[in-house]
Structure 1
């Protein structure tokens, strides 16, 4: 147990709820052994919300991973590596080191003197990829100067795949208004600024794109943050490194999302976005690798359990735990105990309703 800030309230370190409304004792079953792995991309501002339902999912599922995600306020980069074929990964996991990943070890960081990125590899493994530098600054008539070489910056029209010209070092680069996409036969690299909404779905037509969508991939996000408000000092850090195995799908109601009943393939891994609708939508646009995944949606007009205490933009908008439970049921992962997780969440919502009533009475 611990306290938070200057408030003399004790909190449970396991469920992060105040001790007087701790939910840990409400689970009368061990964590459910879900056969479809779950990864939750959780917006950083959602973690401490008193009604955040991910705490129920974390305590209720055995095969679950939560990845904190922050907004892109300055600059971010994603590097995506396809996995080798026939690698059987049934669950999502953070890639703690590259020895667990069947791909070339590469260290990616922001260039200190350029507006681009450096990709450095083990030269004993692949001399041809020892150092490839991408620079977003365009000089002359569409030519970027890099190490004394002239590399053609190709058309930004993603439909012109056949018109792309192969650059030196097996690198193909295209520049958009607020982001750049580069790819080789081994990886995809996306550099983006604030407000960018990169769409890399067109890369699925390339060899590396086909390998990525069929074999699964590892994605690494690098983020630039300001150290102190009021100064121009920045720090670059690795926000997450995630293995997305083949058979992964994204639960998000995009334009081309399929309903659960239409799925005619085996789903092994479910990715869910956790946040308000506005936050979830921003996470979706700021994580371009999500567009490489099949999209699924829930066909539900039911009212969420937390509709009385938290705003819903429209009917059918459910909490994260509700979305996960209904998605697993729709995909055939009928684990005994799923409805009991919803009961725990319902009791948590009841706690919040009582707290609001008590606060209102105290004010009057």
Structure 2
């Protein structure tokens, strides 16, 4: 479905691309029924980027959730509640032990974990896995809610509440990440960070609950289709849709039509390249 605002070119509401570059007709219908579900944490600045590849995954995969994420520029709190425990306890005040690390603090009880962070902190809560509440969250899944405050003058607001099911993994090349080819357990949900590589790294550090998950990494020898139009800091840093497709193949979730998503992404890059060439030609004539 197209739309046209005053002074704006027509665009497609479904894929958020200009109507003349609409991706919808290039994608299979219905979407692929992926057995490994996908959760995309999308940086707030990435949604409108003309080369954002997550839109291909969103339109092309049936079992996918999108979670918008913003930077922590003042303060944020993360409440983590293991799914195995009574969900009625997830909103109860936490009375327990507190570990204060200066620019972040962790309060934990037998039922919940609360992580309070400030701007520029890099909270590491991996040690909580030594306690029953941490082991329960890691083994049986958990619910996490992020409450953020943008400044001293503004009120708190809930940015997201997300269920992280058992069998979830994070696709990110952290120091603890293992190669996809070496995975020896069942992966049921793939979490991917969508943003520039700098923004993805910041999302990783500012969302401490990601430390409760196994981390997987792609083969660094893979080259990105982005290389001609968007900076790739080093080998193995791929677009969101490339990362999802390659990970699914390694995890055994091979579906007919999966490679078609990469073809749509490649066509989107071709569109961007042509638009850039047209712009340069127009400037040359002026």
Q: Secondary structure of the residue that 2:57 maps to in structure 1? A: helix
Q: Secondary structure of the residue that 2:9 maps to in structure 1? A: strand
**Can you list the C-alpha shifts for 1:74-102, whole angstroms capped at 9, x where unaligned?**
000000000117xxxxxxxxxxxxxxxx5
Contact 1:216 1:245 in 2 (8 A): yes
Q: Distance in 2 between matches of 1:176 and 1:52?
A: 36
**Count of residue pairs brought into register by the alignment:** 283
Q: Indicate yes or no: 2:43 matched with 1:10.
A: no
Q: Indicate yes or no: 2:253 matched with 1:328.
A: no
> Which residue does 2:148 correspond to in 1?
223
**Can you list the C-alpha shifts for 1:202-223, whole angstroms capped at 9, x where unaligned?**
0000010111111100000001
> Which residue does 2:42 correspond to in 1?
42
> Which residue does 1:201 correspond to in 2?
126
> Which residue does 1:142 correspond to in 2?
none
Q: Please identify the structure whose Cα radius of gyration is greater.
A: 1
Contact 2:89 2:111 in 1 (8 A): no
Q: Distance in 1 between matches of 2:235 and 2:7?
A: 36
Ranges in structure 1 where 5+ consecutive residues have no aligned partner: 86-101, 108-120, 122-130, 133-168, 227-231
Q: Secondary structure of the residue that 1:307 maps to in structure 2? A: helix
- TM-score if structure 1 supplies the norm length? 0.76
Q: Secondary structure of the residue that 2:4 maps to in structure 1? A: strand
- TM-score if structure 2 supplies the norm length? 0.96
Of 100, 103, 112, the match for 2:87: 103
- After TM superposition, give the deviation of residue 177 of structure 1 in Å: 1.7
- Could you list the runs of 4 or more consecutive aligned residues of structure 1 that deviate by over 6 angstroms after TM superposition? none
**Can you list the C-alpha shifts for 1:95-123, whole angstroms capped at 9, x where unaligned?**
xxxxxxx512554xxxxxxxxxxxxx4xx
**Can you list the C-alpha shifts for 1:144-198, whole angstroms capped at 9, x where unaligned?**
xxxxxxxxxxxxxxxxxxxxxxxxx4x0101002011000000000001000100
Q: Secondary structure of the residue that 2:55 maps to in structure 1? A: helix
Q: Secondary structure of the residue that 1:336 maps to in structure 2? A: coil
- After TM superposition, give the deviation of residue 250 of structure 1 in Å: 0.3
> Which residue does 1:352 correspond to in 2?
272
**Can you list the C-alpha shifts for 1:215-253, whole angstroms capped at 9, x where unaligned?**
100000001124xxxxx6212100000000110000000
Contact 1:29 1:337 in 2 (8 A): no
> Which residue does 1:362 correspond to in 2?
282
Ranges in structure 2 where 5+ consecutive residues have no aligned partner: none
Contact 1:43 1:69 in 2 (8 A): yes
Q: CA RMSD for the aligned pairs? A: 1.4
**Can you list the C-alpha shifts for 1:43-75, whole angstroms capped at 9, x where unaligned?**
000000000001100110000001000000000
Q: Secondary structure of the residue that 2:176 maps to in structure 1? A: coil
> Which residue does 2:31 correspond to in 1?
31
Of 255, 259, 273, the match for 1:339: 259
Q: Distance in 2 between matches of 1:51 and 1:212?
A: 35
